[in-house]
Amino acid sequence: MSSKLHFYNTISRKKEEFIPANPPFVGMYVCGPTVYGDAHLGHARSAITFDIVFRYLKHLGYKVRYVRNITDVGHLENDADYGEDKIAKKARLEQLEPMEVVQYYKDRYHREMDALNNNRPSIEPQASGHIIEQIAMTEKLLENGFAYVSEGSVYFDVEKYAASHHYGKLSGRKIEDLQSNSRDLDGQSEKRSPLDFALWKKASPEHIMRWPSPWSDGFPGWHIECSVMSSKYLGNSFDIHGGGLDLLFPHHECEIAQSVGANGEEPVRYWLHNNMITLNGQKMAKSLGNTIMLHEFFSGDNELLDQSYDPLTIRFFILQAHYRSTLDFGNEPLQAAQKGYSKLKTALASARSLSIEWKPESDEVTALINKWSDECAAAMNDDMNTALTIATLFDMASYINGLKNVQEKRIPSKAQFEEIINIFAAYFEDVLGLGSESTGSQNVEVLDDVMDVLLELRTTAKENKDYGTADAIRDKLKAIGVTIMDGKDGADWQVDA
């Protein structure tokens, strides 16, 4: 068991001790969503994985600048260099301005990530707000000889780069294999090689998202935004880059080539990738008819679901697996997760209100406390093994329940028990983010609606001279900390401080 934090670094393919370049500061960049549709489980897993990295680094005392982008331009269909822009396509189908699509799905993404108890990043830059910087980096790549202009578009010259650098170092792909496997598709003929990728694309007449540039009215390629926004906010070389495994190639491989080609420095010291999610053993895909959106899990509104699931049950389920393993979703495992999560939550709540006859401090209990504390730290230090951390929390929950049910013989002192609660809460609430203190705006909105319904029922009861019911509503709400205030214009309410 290690006492120091280690990450599995995708680029070296081994676990390495995490040593930031400039402690206590840590820079972390994570590829965020392309906001043209609702978030699914893959979005949730990536956001939760890097929220855990963010939380744990802060728990260890680091000052983390966490940058996660919003892709709102340049991501074309099939992740390719041709086809329609995903956002422009949605805008065309819905008859909206593209930025209306972006705002709508960005807001929904935020609400859903809040409900999952993810911290918001320190900076959330949008690609469309960094067009000037993307043009500047493209100019630098042209200057350095790693890019060329063709028909008003600019492409990165992969073979030229590969002559002096290792292209494929992250994904492990070999340039010879890529060359023999790629074929020229229609519309790619303006590239010198099918391996080349767009830095700037000339806009066709019907393309609405366009900006002036030295080469054409057009738009940036998909990969360049991340090279630009990471270096702008974290410097040319920074500590951690994260994202889903599906972004490894070509997106992250291209990011390295662009950043090295433009700045002459390796951009990232630790590359972290979370694995994918399957549903009942199958890959989720629209064509298979088995995609479930995140909000459908929360509402239960999908025929593949037996019930709705609390966002924190989803979070707990995701954290029960290591982020580098695949994770299979289904109703049964989710229901099991719901029970497990409830067991831990209940144990912490009952620990906080437990009052028994405490014993003098004993070495036996001290040893137990040290063991749990070491186990939680070692699990997190071992490449964020949240599954093992949760296993230790279950041990602690059993002990707490044993005390509550007067079966446990190892009775702690009051101070020892407080230490146990502190360890439990530090990992359960702060590090894993499983406390139910979520103040997600979605919850607030639901509360508003629920209160409207209750006040309406009370008004109806009063109109019917059913004062018993009206008073019971008022008194029961008061008991749970909500005060109703009757006024001339009807009733209002507030949550007691």
- Minimal distance, residue 255 CB to Zn ion, in Å: 6
Residue from the set 35, 88, 226, 423 that interacts with Zn ion by CB under 5 A: 226
Does residue 127 belong to the site contacting Zn ion (CB under 5 A)? no
- Minimal distance, residue 227 CB to Zn ion, in Å: 9
Q: Which is nearer to Zn ion, 112 or 225 (CB)?
A: 225
Does residue 47 belong to the site contacting Zn ion (CB under 5 A)? no
Q: Which is nearer to Zn ion, 102 or 226 (CB)?
A: 226
Does residue 142 belong to the site contacting Zn ion (CB under 5 A)? no
Contact 276, 246 (CB under 8 A): yes
Q: Which is nearer to Zn ion, 31 or 403 (CB)?
A: 31
- Minimal distance, residue 369 CB to Zn ion, in Å: 43
Segment lying near Zn ion (by CB under 5 A), choices 26-34, 45-53, 146-154, 256-264: 26-34
Residues 432-471: x where in contact with Zn ion by CB under 5 A, - otherwise, as a string: ----------------------------------------
Q: Which is nearer to Zn ion, 113 or 226 (CB)?
A: 226
Structure tokens at 90: 């949605």
Please give the Cα distance from 78 to 34 (Å, whole number): 13
Structure tokens at 158: 């992969």
DSSP codes, 217-252: SEEE-TTHHHHHHHHHHH-SSEEEEEEEGGGIIIII
Amino acid identity, position 308:
S
Residues binding Zn ion: what is the number (CB under 5 A)? 2
Please give the Cα distance from 73 to 35 (Å, whole number): 9
Does residue 224 belong to the site contacting Zn ion (CB under 5 A)? no
Please give the Cα distance from 419 to 379 (Å, whole number): 19
State the CB neighbour count (10 A cutoff) for residue 272: 22
Please give the Cα distance from 238 to 92 (Å, whole number): 38
Structure tokens at 392: 């230790």
- Minimal distance, residue 29 CB to Zn ion, in Å: 8
Please give the Cα distance from 106 to 70 (Å, whole number): 8
Segment lying near Zn ion (by CB under 5 A), choices 50-58, 196-204, 219-227, 230-238: 219-227
Q: Which is nearer to Zn ion, 31 or 170 (CB)?
A: 31
Does residue 73 belong to the site contacting Zn ion (CB under 5 A)? no
Radius of gyration over every alpha carbon of the chain, rounded to an integer in angstroms: 27
Q: Which is nearer to Zn ion, 46 or 438 (CB)?
A: 46
Q: Could you say which residues in the range 344-373 bind Zn ion, by CB under 5 A?
A: none
Residue from the set 5, 28, 30, 31 that interacts with Zn ion by CB under 5 A: 31
- The SS3 call for residue 487 is strand
Does residue 28 belong to the site contacting Zn ion (CB under 5 A)? no
Structure tokens at 206: 């019907």
Please give the Cα distance from 381 to 443 (Å, whole number): 33
**Of 487, 491, 466, nearest to 477 (Cα)?**
491
Segment lying near Zn ion (by CB under 5 A), choices 58-66, 225-233, 279-287, 356-364: 225-233
Contacting residues toward Zn ion, per CB under 5 A:
31, 226
